[in-house]
């Protein structure tokens, strides 16, 4: 599904419950991973028209990963999974980590 004129926006859903409030945990300005990080996302035709996603970041914060998630939505065409829940390590070396964003619906 193509959405003309609508900017994709991922929702930060990495939270904990404190009393009756939802608190971002970890805070969005926290560095998530140190060093060079390649973020990859696979296009799944069932969820929309698009292509595979790849972006390289340097010591990204959770805010940076949230922005990457928003770009991933647009590139892959998957407007169903917009809740950023975290990331999964795909490969890692001393020079670069490769991660996949965990997105929920």
| Residue 8 pLDDT | 63
Q: For the chain, how many residues are written?
A: 105
Compute the average pLDDT of residues 20-29. Answer: 75
| Residue 68 pLDDT | 95
The domain segmentation of the chain, as residue ranges, is 11-104
Taking the alpha carbons at both ends of the chain, their separation in whole angstroms is 16
Centre a 10 Å sphere on the Cβ of residue 66 and count the other Cβ atoms it contains.
20
- Note the pLDDT tens digit of each residue in 10-19: 887 776 677 8
């Amino acid at each position: 599904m193509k959405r003309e004129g609508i900017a994709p926006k991922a929702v930060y859903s990495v939270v904990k419950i404190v009393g009756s409030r939802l608190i971002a945990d970890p805070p969005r300005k926290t560095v998530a991973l140190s060093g060079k990080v390649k973020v990859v996302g696979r296009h799944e035709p069932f969820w929309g028209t698009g292509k595979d996603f790849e972006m390289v970041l340097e010591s990204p914060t959770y805010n940076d990963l949230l922005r990457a998630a928003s770009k991933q939505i647009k590139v892959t065409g998957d407007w169903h999974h917009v809740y950023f829940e975290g990331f999964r390590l795909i490969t890692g070396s001393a020079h670069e980590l490769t991660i996949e964003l965990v997105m929920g619906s």
